[in-house]
A and B are shown apart, each in its own frame.
Chain A
Amino acid sequence: MIDVKAKISSFFIFNSSFGPREGEELQRILYFYPSQTSADTQKMQVGLCEAVIKFMSTFSPKPCEALRTQTKKYIFYQPEKGYWMVLVVRIPYTTKALSAIGESKGTDFVIPSVMFDLLKSSYKMFRMFRGLFKNFTVEEIYSVCDQFFTPYILSRNISNDVADVIQGINYLPLDKNAFFKVLCFIDLLEVNYPHFKCISFIYNEQLIWNGLDTDDMLTLYQYLVQSLLPKEVEKEIHGGAVAAAQRHGRFIHPPEGNQEEKLMKVYLKREEDSEAKQYYLVVYRTMSATICLTVDVHVEVQPEMLRSLDAFIGPQLSTIASTIGEQCTIHALQTAQLLSEHKFVYFNRLNLAFKTSPSVSKLHPSTAVKPEVLSIIADIHTDKKSLGNYGEIIIKTPDEYWITGKSSNDREFYVIIQEKNANLKEIADEVRRICETQMKGIFFYPM
């Protein structure tokens, strides 16, 4: 896990059109982290980026992506025209100092694609909860950015984990009856409360139903799994359990007993929407099941509406949650039997389904993959051309790792085998075997 404060040198957002004249440079900086950086340093950093971007634009119509100096790496991201987000990370340059710290376990190294994803997801999170940059006036934008990005940056933990290299959604496989229970419950809810639309159903950290555009789903999923739910679980552990047991479930958003003004607004693209719209977000949770509902912002959400919803959802959701709980137990037992000695990662670009051999939970650091290996996987994953639509690649590291990447139908599958004295055929056979046992029903074939 990287220490954000130690590794992230700075993070800033600028728009050159905000202060076009000389002397107005500070106005161009919408946000700068760390905030205690001196104004001169801020100006210099932003100025450098502006210059590089401008300079590079003469060579390529595509915007500049990164800049590397001896001590730092700059990642650029232009989410909206003229708005640039820049992440600056320190990179190791004195091997001596590092070896003095001891085993670094890769904390010295941040994979570029992970940094870029961090920028991108921070923007997407901003867009979901605040909207577009351009929709804010010059008066608002500085404080809006500050209020949003400071806590966001400080709360993000980036580990060198496959889950950060490949950002996906962990789906929960259910048997059809349990799945239909969920589906029919959602139908019933929407039929009885036509203003509400269920956009996601999550059990623990695993997604069961999604009613959003996949891109937005990833952002909402990350918000729930990385930010909202850990806090709620914490609350439940510390004393909330008794109160929760007395009732079926509770609203997380809006917080219990609060009025309309507390409703959270989000910009989302539901599956049937052609563009993002503003909705109220209602989150309800019982046992380990969490559902997210959206309501059109033009609908006046009355407290009695929520009370009635509570009475409707609570009992049904807790029944469903216990059914799913039983399934999970069975499923866990079955998976335990399939345990593979080798690590694998599965990713489906279409629905962002993500699966790894060990639990993706960050509670198990032992599952961490060596940074060199991770970096190779990240490279294969980022460079779509390396595998093509259908392909397979096997890479051997100088030490004893074999990394196999397969792709078919927008699905990717990676296997890491630690075996010094193996040959290519043995590795290929082993990968095929793992693919068959772990990925039943999902077939890879070269074309």
Chain B
Amino acid sequence: MARFRLKDSEEYYLALSEQPKRFDADSPVTNVFFDDSNGQVFTVRSGGVTGVTVTGMDKSNSTSFRMEDRGPIISIKFSPDLKILAIQRNQDNQNATVEFVNFKDLAPTNVEYSHTCKWKNAKILGFVWPKVNEITFITDHGIELLQVIPDKKQLKSLKNTSFSCAWFSWCSQSNIVLLAGNNGVLLQPFSLNNSTITKLQKLELEATRPVVERDVFTLRLCDATWCAIFRHAQSATVAAPGPTEVWLMPITGPSGFHYTHVLKTGLVGRFAVNVVDDLVVVHHQASQTSQVFDIMEQSRPEGGGVVHIPLVGATSLRPAAGGALYSDTWVVFQPHYIIDARLGCLWRVHLIPAGLAHSVPKDEISKIVAVLLRRTDGKDAIYRVLNQLVAEAGTYLVQLSDVFDEIHTVYRKWADLEMARNTAGPAPQPDGGAGRARVLISQGELCAHVLQQHSEAAWLVQVVTCYVASLARAGLVVQAAAAELAVRALVTRGPVAGLGAARQAGLGGLAPRKWLAAARAHAQAHGRPTAFTAVYHALLQRNERTRGSPHFLKGEQCDSYVEYYKQITAEPQ
């Protein structure tokens, strides 16, 4: 199968941020912590005595301070408003306690207090800040939601739930915590929204295939929250272990997401997962490559799950300044952070949309465009793909038609929703964000950015025909800009047939001046005045039909064409 290669595109479709955030590397006297809720790296030197440095993605959430060393730190996190610092220390034989320090302008005040969780013998597995002034302790006995009152140096219990838990996974974007019980066979999500704890539908796994902590992630993807699980083939039961799959099990989200999505990596080994622009990125250490999956792509559910393969062939991240890629010392955090604790680098992963079209099998071009339509910055790459397809329309006419269809399907859905919003009619059922597009390309934009760039292209007539055909299939009315091109194209291919074709295509709404200009140009170029008179007569009829008089209106600026008509139809005296 021939491949389409987008000109001047990189072979990489994923990149790390240009300049990594630097922090002190992990060492015997330095401990590094990362809080994915606030995107902050904490480097604690000598237990805080020689300083704590907080590095965020920008200066507004970076700071440094000193504190007393009261024992080894397990976890350290700011509240979302950066006004309270919570610290959990390893204090054996003591009650499960978290310490608090009030902050002002990113500097510690001397107001310090602590709180012990309600289960006296419990072990705190971690804590999270679902909201400003609200903290949740996750313990092996259950979870406790507390309100922090910094002025009074007090915490007030809001709600608690008992659950026997071994470890947990937290999604800061949706405030959902996933607790693992029953030796990794039962996963129980809780929502910590609205100052309460809400128990959600549990996820039960096959008893023979329990999961371990490093294989479970809670992700926010396409406005829904998912539990992502790496399912490695079991060598005990299968002679030759198969490749690893990523299972995405829905926890909560808009209707329409009730299938488990199965991402086939085709690989074995160590993996990590990120979410970038609603794409699932699976990093594979051994091959030093990353794959991307789009769960919004069209795929038929089978056997209770929807199966996906990588959108394009696995490629490495774009090499970045700072160090080796896919290093052993990398730690990947949600949604799109990568930390190399030994080097002291914090990166964000981002998408290079054009890279997705770098090398695509010919018949998958429209699929890639569909993927790009669902990406925040996909528009420019789509224009580039389209311009290249139009320039090489002799090879890509079929693909071009498919690409137009993808664009128009998206536009149609949007137009229907707008229509429903602006009228009191029954709202169409939103399809749960599935296939929800971020890029909307109007007819005017497409004409300006693509079609009008190719006025001399060899196959422009065919391209415009296939464009208008696609609009017709989507049930969209051809607007002025596209109609002008279409009329020119149709008149070029044969004035009389073109006119009929135009009528069949529903190109009625175009200014008569445009029709006449195209027809006159054609009539003069080919020495066939009938081409002009045919169009002229058709327009007179239209005038008569719509206005009751065959004459053109003043505002239509057709005087010069009326003159031209008289000139060519004048009887020889």
Cα–Cα, bound, A441→B538 (Å): 10
Number of B interface residues in the complex (CB < 8 A) = 35
The segment out of A125-133, A160-168, A176-184, A282-290 that lies at the interface is A176-184
In the complex, which residues 398-440 of chain B have their Cβ closer than 8 Å to any Cβ of chain A? 398, 401
Q: Which residues of B contact A447 (CB under 8 A)?
A: 550
Q: Mark B176-202, 1 if CB is under 8 A from A, else 0.
A: 000000000000000000000000000
Asked if B469 and A180 sit within 8 Å, CB to CB, the answer is yes
Asked if B537 and A191 sit within 8 Å, CB to CB, the answer is no
Asked if B468 and A180 sit within 8 Å, CB to CB, the answer is yes
Partner of A209, one of B497, B530, B537, B545: B497
Asked if B473 and A180 sit within 8 Å, CB to CB, the answer is yes
Interface of B is mostly: helix
Asked if A188 and B398 sit within 8 Å, CB to CB, the answer is yes
Q: Mark A126-161, 1 if CB is under 8 A from B, else 0.
A: 000000000000000000000000000000000000
Cα–Cα, bound, A113→B361 (Å): 61
Asked if A191 and B393 sit within 8 Å, CB to CB, the answer is yes
Asked if B497 and A210 sit within 8 Å, CB to CB, the answer is yes
Asked if B466 and A187 sit within 8 Å, CB to CB, the answer is yes
Q: Which residues of A contact B466 (CB under 8 A)?
A: 184, 187
Asked if A191 and B497 sit within 8 Å, CB to CB, the answer is no
B505 within 8 A of A: yes
A409 within 8 A of B: yes
Known A-B contacts A214-B496, A409-B537; the reply to A191 vs B473 at CB < 8 A is: no
A443 within 8 A of B: yes
Cα–Cα, bound, A350→B497 (Å): 10
Q: Which residues of A contact B462 (CB under 8 A)?
A: 187-188, 190-191
Asked if B545 and A176 sit within 8 Å, CB to CB, the answer is no
In the complex, which residues 507-547 of chain B have their Cβ closer than 8 Å to any Cβ of chain A? 526-527, 530, 534, 537-538, 540-541, 544-545
- Most chain B CB neighbours (cut-off 10 Å) among A190, A274, A350: A350
Q: Which residues of B contact A442 (CB under 8 A)?
A: 541
Q: Which residues of B contact A274 (CB under 8 A)?
A: 527
Q: Which residues of B contact A209 (CB under 8 A)?
A: 497
Q: Which residues of B contact A59 (CB under 8 A)?
A: none
A419 within 8 A of B: no
Q: Which residue of B lies closest to A271 (CB)?
A: B494
For residue B489, give the distance in angstroms from its CB to the closest CB of chain A: 10
Cα–Cα, bound, A82→B540 (Å): 43
For residue B81, give the distance in angstroms from its CB to the closest CB of chain A: 57
Count: A-B pairs, CB below 8 Å: 73
Cα–Cα, bound, A27→B466 (Å): 58
For residue A444, give the distance in angstroms from its CB to the closest CB of chain B: 9
Q: Which residue of A lies closest to B473 (CB)?
A: A177
Known A-B contacts A176-B504, A443-B545, A445-B550; the reply to A183 vs B394 at CB < 8 A is: no
Q: Which residue of B lies closest to A408 (CB)?
A: B541
Cα–Cα, bound, A263→B468 (Å): 36
B500 within 8 A of A: yes
Q: A interface vs B, CB < 8 Å?
A: 171, 174-177, 179-181, 183-184, 187-188, 190-191, 209-211, 214, 271-272, 274, 350-351, 409-410, 441-443, 445, 447
Q: B interface vs A, CB < 8 Å?
A: 393-394, 397-398, 401, 459, 461-462, 465-466, 468-469, 472-473, 493-494, 496-497, 500-501, 503-506, 526-527, 530, 534, 537-538, 540-541, 544-545, 550
| 24 CB-based A-B contacts, threshold 8 Å | A174-B504, A179-B501, A180-B472, A183-B465, A184-B401, A184-B465, A187-B461, A187-B465, A190-B462, A191-B393, A211-B497, A214-B496, A272-B526, A350-B530, A351-B497, A351-B500, A409-B537, A409-B538, A409-B540, A410-B537, A443-B544, A443-B545, A445-B550, A447-B550
